[in-house]
């Protein structure tokens, strides 16, 4: 039975799951949910995620939501498939987990407003973002990226020497923002910029972002 | 070498780590960080967490920040000590992980504003919370708790039959809010209320909340 992902190519959380499945060389079926029509809040989706968010995920009788839980399930279940996305070394794993939490607790909250103003308003409603909000949020992102720049000046990837879920988790949001004016904020930082070029050029990334949005 | 936690009894993230250490029957030293004086933003703390947040954690040469990463390190490293806080069954573990992510992505954002208005303003500045904000945030919490009530009507704990990190992660915020007017929002839901009474009466919880705040 194929793995099913109910989600949208406009959703960073959906893309996180598709990137993980593709890195792990797993087949999946993407069932597109129409965000603009509010399909994620409709009964057939609320039965899959009672909080009304996407993606929802099915692998046989396993039914999950929350993208960061889904990818952990995937890497635990399909250990011997595709790319190793977590370290087996307990100390390295602890550092990778820490940077996964930084993405979740700090990077995502600092970028979600930019993604809304600069991407989602355009995708969903054909509107431009509010530049006052964008400038404020970019200042916040700059302070955050100074810490990333320091980390990436001493370590090729966030979790250490190898690409891991800690890096993968950042890809969807960075990919969206690199198509906007915020690209300049990332590119002003040498090591961050090299890291972004590296992770966005991975075959799995090129493959996933080649999937049509509709 | 003793485990060290740099944090504050006023910080839900610090309390999450202390609860996990106590459930695992591990000794630790709590080094109190003065939040009101902004000690978490001072150089000696920025060297432990460059994002200027607490807690920071040390276990020998392992140095971590991000409370949800720290507790995962603790349960992986000290498997045979104290309470089992994660399931060994892959399917059960996936469900526990999903509810851990619900806490991180949905419960915490829906309650952090209430904790600020009703607890932190009082603790740090001796001020009352803004009731307009409190009422708005309580409405948001009510919608969320309806989903929890449904889950807890079919399962004793969030992750399944056993207490796990998914439950533990909620304790600090719930403990703070049960001392405020928001208690009524929790108590209006039968199964949620029984779950709260259960998790707050655990010996580890009583022990941690008995530690003096200063």
**Closest Cα in chain A to B77:** A90
Q: Compute the distance between CA of residue A20 and CA of residue A168 in angstroms, rounded to an integer.
A: 7
For residue B147, the chain A residues in CB contact (below 8 A) are 50-51
CATH number at residue B164: 1.20.1050.10
Residue B195 has pLDDT above 70, yes or no: yes
Residue B172 has pLDDT above 70, yes or no: yes
Residue B211 pLDDT class (50, 70, 90 cuts): confident
The residue among B30, B58, B84 that closes a domain is B84
Give B62 or B212, the one with higher predicted confidence. Answer: B62
* Domain co-membership, B99 together with B65: no
> Is residue A214 in a domain?
no
What number is the average pLDDT over the span B179-188?
96
Cα dihedral A98→B12→B157→A50 (10° resolution) = -80
> Is residue B209 in a domain?
no
For residue A73, the chain B residues in CB contact (below 8 A) are 90, 94, 97
Q: Are A159 and A92 in contact (CB under 8 A)?
A: yes
* Domain co-membership, A94 together with A80: no
What number is the average pLDDT over the span B84-93?
96
The residue among A84, A110, A125 that closes a domain is A84
* Domain co-membership, A119 together with A57: no
Is the ipTM value over 0.90, yes or no? Answer: yes
Q: Helices marked H in A81-179 — which ranges?
A: 90-102, 108-115, 121-125, 131-154, 165-168, 171-177
* Domain co-membership, B164 together with B96: yes
Residue B214 pLDDT class (50, 70, 90 cuts): low
Residue B60 has pLDDT above 80, yes or no: yes
pLDDT at A55: 98
What number is the average pLDDT over the span B88-111?
96
**Closest Cα in chain A to B49:** A147
Q: Are B178 and B196 in contact (CB under 8 A)?
A: yes
Residue A212 has pLDDT above 90, yes or no: no
Residue A151 has pLDDT above 70, yes or no: yes
Give the side-chain half-sphere CA count within 13 A for A5.
25
What number is the average pLDDT over the span B178-187?
96
Cβ distance A90 to B105 less than 8 Å, yes or no, reads no
The tens digit of pLDDT for each residue in A153-198 reads 999 999 999 999 999 999 999 999 999 999 999 999 999 999 999 9
Query: Quick check: A65 contacting B, CB < 8 Å?
Result: yes
* Domain co-membership, A109 together with A194: yes
pLDDT mean across residues, chain B: 95
Cβ distance B105 to A101 less than 8 Å, yes or no, reads no
What number is the average pLDDT over the span B107-118?
95
In total, how many domains does chain A have?
2
- Full-model pTM: 0.95
* Domain co-membership, A73 together with A129: no
Helix axis angle, B190-200 to B131-154, nearest 10°: 90
The tens digit of pLDDT for each residue in B114-169 reads 999 999 898 888 889 999 999 999 999 999 999 999 999 999 999 999 999 999 99
**Closest Cα in chain A to B145:** A51
> Is residue B22 in a domain?
yes
**How would you classify residue A23: left for phi > 0, otherwise alpha for psi between -120 and 50, otherwise beta?**
alpha
* Domain co-membership, B116 together with B68: no
CATH number at residue A74: 3.40.30.10
For residue A106, the chain B residues in CB contact (below 8 A) are 51
CA distance to partner chain B, nearest, from residue A106 (Å): 9
Range of the domain at B155: 90-203
> Is residue A210 in a domain?
no
**Closest Cα in chain A to B60:** A91
> Is residue A49 in a domain?
yes
* Domain co-membership, B112 together with B189: yes
Residue A211 has pLDDT above 90, yes or no: no
Q: Compute the distance between CA of residue A72 and CA of residue A202 in angstroms, rounded to an integer.
A: 20
Query: Quick check: B104 contacting A, CB < 8 Å?
Result: yes
> Is residue B71 in a domain?
yes
* Domain co-membership, A96 together with A182: yes
Cβ distance A68 to B101 less than 8 Å, yes or no, reads yes
pLDDT at A79: 95
Q: Compute the distance between CA of residue A69 and CA of residue B99 in angstroms, rounded to an integer.
A: 8
* Domain co-membership, A63 together with A9: yes
- SS3 (DSSP) at B57: strand
* Domain co-membership, B96 together with B199: yes
Query: Distances in Å between the alpha carbon of A170 and those of A11, A57, A102, B12?
Result: 13, 20, 10, 26
**Could you give the percent of chain A with pLDDT greater than 90?**
92
* Domain co-membership, B56 together with B14: yes
The tens digit of pLDDT for each residue in A15-74 reads 999 999 999 999 999 999 999 899 999 999 999 999 999 999 999 999 999 999 999 999
> Is residue B126 in a domain?
yes
Residue A200 has pLDDT above 70, yes or no: yes
The residue among A49, A84, A119 that closes a domain is A84
pLDDT at A214: 62
CA distance to partner chain B, nearest, from residue A19 (Å): 19
Residue A206 has pLDDT above 90, yes or no: yes
Q: Which of B69, B74, B106 to mutate to test the interface with A (most CBs of A within 10 A)?
A: B69
> Is residue B186 in a domain?
yes
pLDDT at B213: 72
């Amino acid at each position: 039975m194929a793995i099913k992902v109910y989600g949208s190519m406009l959703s960073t959380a959906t893309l996180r799951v598709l990137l993980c499945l593709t890195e792990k060389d797993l087949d999946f079926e993407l069932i597109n949910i129409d965000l603009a029509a509010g399909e994620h809040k409709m009964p057939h989706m609320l039965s899959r995620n009672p909080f009304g968010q996407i993606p929802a995920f099915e692998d046989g009788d396993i039914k999950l939501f929350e993208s960061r839980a889904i990818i952990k399930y995937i890497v635990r279940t399909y250990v011997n498939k595709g790319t190793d996305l977590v370290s087996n070394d307990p100390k390295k794993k602890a550092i990778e987990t820490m940077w996964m939490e930084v993405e979740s607790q700090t990077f995502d909250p600092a970028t979600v407003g930019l993604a809304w103003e600069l991407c989602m308003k355009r995708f969903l409603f054909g509107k431009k973002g509010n530049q006052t909000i964008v400038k404020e949020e970019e200042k916040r992102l700059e302070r955050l990226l100074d810490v990333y720049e320091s980390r990436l000046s001493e370590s090729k990837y966030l979790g250490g020497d190898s690409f891991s879920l800690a890096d993968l988790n950042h890809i969807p949001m960075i990919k969206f923002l690199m198509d906007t004016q915020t690209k300049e904020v990332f590119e002003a930082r040498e090591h961050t910029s090299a890291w972004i070029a590296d992770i966005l050029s991975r075959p799995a990334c090129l493959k996933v972002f080649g999937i049509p949005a509709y």
